[in-house]
């Protein structure tokens, strides 16, 4: 993703150095999901704990898992517009007042220098004409990584993990890359609702299958 205003020739140089490829399988055929990868996506509608409605572009497996891992670990942001488009297609809600990316664990943000949910929210905001607000939800304390925790431990770990700004009356759409048990989205929605937000829904790139 280039800053707006970069000249076209620079994009051509980048395309030559890093040929545009399908983020799902790596085929060099343009910056989009190829037909085969698209077919396996399964956009879905789920519910996080606390009755939070969640839309996902697909399940966290196969091509989408690969795209997420590449984005997180390789920090290759060229796929952000493609992935945001998949999220936009999966979303069936009403237009919110603002998009709210789930803030990364502070240590991770420092190590990688970018927040994947933040990038996705920014891109989606441009597409929907809705502001992406990084300031409405911030970590209240350092969270332990959720990676190796059980469902119950995850819920405990995120409890009280967020602080929020002035959200009174705003309809909000939470944005995250991967939903595992939904406990992070549930806690974020709980905090925002307690602060007076209106409707709170969520849109994620990929949902881990439960069970």
Cα separation of 72 and 59, whole Å? 17
Token duo for residue 72: 């997180």
The answer to whether residue 22 forms part of the interface with Zn ion (CB under 5 A) is yes
The answer to whether residue 34 forms part of the interface with Zn ion (CB under 5 A) is yes
Count of residues interacting with Zn ion (CB under 5 A):
5
- For residue 60, give the nearest of 46, 72, 42, 77 by alpha carbon: 42
| Shortest distance (Å) from residue 117 CB to Zn ion | 23
Cα separation of 58 and 65, whole Å? 9
Q: Give the range of 31-39, 95-103, 132-140, 152-160 binding Zn ion by CB under 5 A.
A: 31-39
- 60: helix, coil or strand? coil
The answer to whether residue 175 forms part of the interface with Zn ion (CB under 5 A) is no
Window 140 to 169, contacts with Zn ion (CB under 5 A): none
Q: Give the range of 23-31, 52-60, 81-89, 130-138 binding Zn ion by CB under 5 A.
A: 23-31
| Shortest distance (Å) from residue 64 CB to Zn ion | 10
Phi, psi angle pair for 18, to nearest 5°: -125, 85
Token duo for residue 145: 């990584």
Residue that is written with structure tokens 């789930």 in the block:
102
Q: Give the range of 16-24, 93-101, 132-140, 190-198 binding Zn ion by CB under 5 A.
A: 16-24
- 53: helix, coil or strand? strand
The answer to whether residue 38 forms part of the interface with Zn ion (CB under 5 A) is no
Contact criterion met (CB below 8 Å) for 162 and 122: no
Smaller CB separation from Zn ion, 84 or 174:
84
Q: Give the range of 33-41, 52-60, 128-136, 141-149 binding Zn ion by CB under 5 A.
A: 33-41
Q: Which of 14, 20, 21, 25 binds Zn ion (CB under 5 A)?
A: 25
Strand arrangement of the beta sheet that strand 98-101 belongs to: 44-48, 52-59, 200-207, 172-179, 98-101
Q: Which of 32, 37, 52, 121 binds Zn ion (CB under 5 A)?
A: 37
Q: Would you give the DSSP letter of residue 77?
A: G
Residues that bind Zn ion (CB under 5 A): 22, 24-25, 34, 37
């Amino acid at each position: 993703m280039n800053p707006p205003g970069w000249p076209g020739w620079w994009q051509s140089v980048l395309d030559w150095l890093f040929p545009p490829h399908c983020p799902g399988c790596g085929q060099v055929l343009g910056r989009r999901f190829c037909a085969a990868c698209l077919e396996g996506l399964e956009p879905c509608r789920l519910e996080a704990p606390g009755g939070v409605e969640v839309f996902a572009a697909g399940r966290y497996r196969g091509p989408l898992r690969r795209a997420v891992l590449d984005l997180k670990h390789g920090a290759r942001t060229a796929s952000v517009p493609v992935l945001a488009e998949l999220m936009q297609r999966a979303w069936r809600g009403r237009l919110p007042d603002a998009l709210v990316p789930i803030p990364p664990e502070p240590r991770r943000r420092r190590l990688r220098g970018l927040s994947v949910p933040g990038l996705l929210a920014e891109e989606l905001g441009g597409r929907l004409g809705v502001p992406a607000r990084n300031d409405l939800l911030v970590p209240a304390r350092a969270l332990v990584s959720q990676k190796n925790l059980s469902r119950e431990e995850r819920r405990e770990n995120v409890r009280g993990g967020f602080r929020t700004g002035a959200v009174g009356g705003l309809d909000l759409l939470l944005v995250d890359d991967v939903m595992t048990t939904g406990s992070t989205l549930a806690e974020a929605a709980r905090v925002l609702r307690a602060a007076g937000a209106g409707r709170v829904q969520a849109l994620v790139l990929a949902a881990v299958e439960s069970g």
